[in-house]
Structure 1
Amino acid sequence: MRDSVSPRRVVITGVGLISPLGNQVEAVWEALRDRKSGVDLLQALPSDAMSISCGAEARDFTGSISEFGPLDKQLQRAIKKGLKLMCREIEMGVAAAQLALHDSGLSSDVRDPDRTGVLYGSDYIMTLPEEFAAGIRKCQDAEGRFQFERWSELGLPEVNPLWLLKYLPNMPASHIAIYNDLRGANNSLTLREASPGAAIGEAVSTISRGIVDAMVVGATGTRINPFRTLHVVMQEVLAGGSENPAGLSRPFDKDRTGSVLGEGAGAFILEELEFAKARGAEILGEVIGFGSGTAGSTAGPQFIQTAMANALRGAMRNSDTSVGHVNAHGIGTPDGDIQEAAAIVEVLGPDTPPVVAAKSNFGNLGAGGGMVEAIASIKALSEGSLWPTLNYETPDADCPINVVSSNDVPAGDNFVSLNVSPQGQATAFRIAKFAG
């Protein structure tokens, strides 16, 4: 993102992720290339109580300290002690950040803690029912009916006084900063699926203005949580059936029926170019554009298209190079995919670049999705070719975009990533191979 006011360039020097396809970049990349799905029958929820029974769980992530990457003993002890104050979403977010820090080599002996910050995105994080179970039982009468007037005296004392700290959406950034002594700019954003792009855009702006030299930037989310899943089932269009879980998520395919639940987290280490070069960091890519847009339902029935087109235009601003590929939101709903395809055509023209949609492999990870998807595209830039969009079998005339369905499509030297929330908050960011 270069202009006459702020010439500082921002590069990516490390990545980390937690996903339904594994917790290592290579494992996720191989799964995408091999058309493997992370969608299966749910194990973490009583699916017989819901109208859906399948989702993409990050089963390789158990919250064990060994899954947070190589840590010195002091840091390992600190994080392990702090796990009791983290819900699963926060655990995944902290783990992805620690993996990214290790990947980047941005260790405590090469970074200035006062000029290293954290910026994290998330969904609004929902508590687990068991946090209140003991208190509710204390407030039941002989017939099992809840008596609210008993709550303050009998119920509330049964709730862990530190309960709220486990679910605050600012806690991923707080934990990461405290554990790693990162004293620079610190912020938290809760824009649901649009959170990753917003976090990247804000972090790039913070670095380019000279406020910090480096930032840990990430996002974490889950749709697999009793209350969260209930909200989704009631409010969104989901793919149903359990006979073939791997075939449920079908972005842009004519026979798509809805989105699929997922969970995960991803993180980047962003650094100012000269700072990264001075310490000899390996540069994985450069952020060259960012845009955001919002358009609620009052903007008309095509408000998702409007928001995504505006975000995409912002990411393309001040650039005269063509897009190598588009990493689409690809939510898999009948109307959502039509509006996204229309936005891509509106901004990039009818002969669109290749389009991939990793949600076909692991569903909607909520706020974490855009980060994990972007890490896959960064890997594609280095490998030279893209992965196929799983379950894309029957093209839809209402989605006239160039959806990738094989392993031999070139990735190009840059990509743009798109994400949008159901409420019409959209973000797009553009990443290129580092050209020196």
Structure 2
Amino acid sequence: MPATTAQTTSDVAPSPAAATLARKPSSSVVITGLGVISPLGNTPGDLLEGLRSGRSGIAEFTQIPLGAYCTSHGAEARGFTGDIKDYGPLEKPMQRTIKKGSKVMCREIEMGVASAQLALHDAGFTTEKFDRDRTGVLFGSDYIMSLPEEYAEGIAACIEDGEFQFSKWGQQGLPKISPLWLLKYLPNMPASHIAIYNDLRGPNNSLTVREASSCAAIAEATSTIMRGHADALVVGATGSRVHPLRTLHASTQEQLAADREDPTEMSRPFDASRDGSVLGEGAASMLCESREHAEARGANILGEVIGYGTSAAGESAGPRPIQIAIANALRAAIRSAQSRGHGDTPIGHIHAHGLSDVGCDRDEAAAIVDVFGDASSQPPVTTAKGHFGNLGAGSGMVEIISSLMSLGSDLFAIRNLDKLADDCPIRAVTGSNVAAGDSFIKVNVSPQGQAAAVWIRR
């Protein structure tokens, strides 16, 4: 066999700029571009306007059968159709590439890729200003479920006398399934598609820790850039709980809000009358860069990640693992900021998980009290979930963008918080005249007790 002549990465000499940055860790990590797909709109401006005006994204389902589940309402990203226009301004070759790739992208992955393309455009990404070998992707997601119709024809081929015959599956059923079906649902595919479409050859990673994925992705991206392993990373998350099987899972495993005459009142974070979470879908991305790289290319810096923390607490940790995990993540984010000289930065507000679940809201409020003291000493606390419920892994990133866009002006109130629950003693934002401040801490947690938090300032 002849020796291979393929050139390895180590054989390629880095550019002078790349070599310099590789040897010198970054002083800080900044945010330079945003992209969002949400029930309140597909631009950061539309998202913020919807939150400030009190608009709700919760309505009757259009993607799944009505009457088949314990709820008939949720927050769909109705403005996202999957059309190439939803991906933002693109050159014709890129449009053709994404259109071709859409054949192996489910809706969840499409939303994530679209949000990333929007963020890259917003950041002014060009091949001249970025070293592709040092630009990568770090993306979060839920576990992504296949649609039942993917298997329908194969299953039908194995039915005999009204019963499914397993012995026929290999020869008669499996050939009816598209050989590429799995590519539509693998949770690492958002990061893969984004990297391939944009030829981003730097660090690439996928995180699947449900609702904690967004903050965990920012934490990992910040650490990667701070170590000098990359100049820039597309960081995002996508999620959907509006899905024939995922909605079924949620309705059997979680406490969902009951349908109301006015569905926009179903999601009620920290309210005394809350009775469960609301299902939604969405995705969001940002471009994170080392400060040195962003300033060298004259980027518009939107914010800086100054701290982050993660934690996981299971039943063995005690009777309230959610409280422990959230408190740990918050303290870790604060310690992280302190270790980098940002300990004196005032916290303008806390963007809570705010699930509207009775137990989760109680435990989150207890964690906030544990870390920050009683309501009189806490920063203002808000959450966007009253407007659109739980977007799964996409929630955190959509919520982070909403808080980032609010800095330096007024904060949006918690929708449907009419009477603060006695077991949620937080400094809840219920009016429109509360300043967002110049920094915020965002925290999210999964039902399994995985929590992540980030501290961002403008």
TM-score bracket for the superposition, by shorter chain length: over 0.9
Matching residue's letter, 1:93: G
Alpha-carbon distance in structure 1 between the residues aligned to 2:422 and 2:191: 43
Contact 2:138 2:235 in 1 (8 A): yes
Alpha-carbon distance in structure 2 between the residues aligned to 1:254 and 1:221: 28
**Match among 313, 337, 357 for residue 333 of structure 1:** 357
Alpha-carbon distance in structure 1 between the residues aligned to 2:170 and 2:404: 52
Count of aligned pairs:
427
Alpha-carbon distance in structure 2 between the residues aligned to 1:165 and 1:241: 35
Alpha-carbon distance in structure 1 between the residues aligned to 2:310 and 2:211: 12
Q: What secondary structure is seen at the aligned counterpart in 1 of 2:159?
A: coil
Q: What secondary structure is seen at the aligned counterpart in 2 of 1:402?
A: coil
**Match among 406, 427, 436 for residue 452 of structure 2:** 427
Counterpart position of 2:433: 408
Q: What secondary structure is seen at the aligned counterpart in 2 of 1:49?
A: coil
Matching residue's letter, 1:396: A
Alpha-carbon distance in structure 2 between the residues aligned to 1:20 and 1:147: 42
Contact 1:53 1:242 in 2 (8 A): no
Larger radius of gyration: 2
Contact 2:25 2:225 in 1 (8 A): no
Residues 313-332 of structure 1 mapped to structure 2, 5 A cutoff: 313-317=331-335, 318=338, 319-332=343-356
| TM-aligned CA deviation for residue 6 of structure 1 | 5.3
The reply on whether 1:362 has 2:381 as its aligned counterpart is no
Counterpart position of 2:397: 371
CA RMSD of aligned residues (A): 1.0
Alpha-carbon distance in structure 2 between the residues aligned to 1:84 and 1:174: 15
TM value normalised by structure 1? 0.97
Counterpart position of 1:268: 286
**Match among 111, 125, 134 for residue 106 of structure 1:** 125
Q: What secondary structure is seen at the aligned counterpart in 2 of 1:340?
A: helix
Counterpart position of 2:248: 230
Counterpart position of 1:12: 31
The reply on whether 1:291 has 2:317 as its aligned counterpart is no
Q: What secondary structure is seen at the aligned counterpart in 1 of 2:360?
A: helix
| TM-aligned CA deviation for residue 110 of structure 1 | 1.1
Contact 2:365 2:424 in 1 (8 A): yes
| TM-aligned CA deviation for residue 320 of structure 1 | 2.8
Report percent identity of matched pairs.
59
Q: What secondary structure is seen at the aligned counterpart in 1 of 2:286?
A: strand
Counterpart position of 1:248: 266
Residues 78-89 of structure 1 mapped to structure 2, 5 A cutoff: 78-89=97-108
Give CA deviations for 1:246-293 in whole Å, capped at 9, x if unaligned.
Answer: 000000011100000000001010000011011110000000000001
The reply on whether 1:157 has 2:175 as its aligned counterpart is yes
Counterpart position of 1:68: 87
Residues 52-63 of structure 1 mapped to structure 2, 5 A cutoff: 52-63=71-82
Counterpart position of 2:204: 186
Task: Identify unmatched segments of 5+ residues in structure 1.
Answer: none
TM value normalised by structure 2? 0.92
**Match among 110, 117, 130 for residue 91 of structure 1:** 110
Q: What secondary structure is seen at the aligned counterpart in 1 of 2:456?
A: strand
Alpha-carbon distance in structure 2 between the residues aligned to 1:322 and 1:340: 21
The reply on whether 1:397 has 2:422 as its aligned counterpart is yes
Q: Which moves more between the two structures, 8-17 or 314-323?
A: 314-323
**Match among 133, 151, 174 for residue 152 of structure 2:** 133
| TM-aligned CA deviation for residue 8 of structure 1 | 2.0
Alpha-carbon distance in structure 1 between the residues aligned to 2:26 and 2:147: 46
Alpha-carbon distance in structure 2 between the residues aligned to 1:301 and 1:249: 26
Matching residue's letter, 1:65: I
Give CA deviations for 1:279-320 in whole Å, capped at 9, x if unaligned.
Answer: 110000000000001101121221000000000001111123
**Match among 268, 276, 299 for residue 281 of structure 1:** 299
Contact 1:124 1:190 in 2 (8 A): yes
Contact 2:29 2:305 in 1 (8 A): yes
Counterpart position of 2:16: none
Residues 12-31 of structure 1 mapped to structure 2, 5 A cutoff: 12-31=31-50
Alpha-carbon distance in structure 2 between the residues aligned to 1:252 and 1:202: 30
**Match among 164, 167, 176 for residue 194 of structure 2:** 176
Q: What secondary structure is seen at the aligned counterpart in 2 of 1:81?
A: helix
**Match among 248, 259, 280 for residue 277 of structure 2:** 259
Q: What secondary structure is seen at the aligned counterpart in 1 of 2:267?
A: coil
Q: Which moves more between the two structures, 261-270 or 7-16?
A: 7-16
| TM-aligned CA deviation for residue 47 of structure 1 | 2.4
Alpha-carbon distance in structure 2 between the residues aligned to 1:106 and 1:210: 20
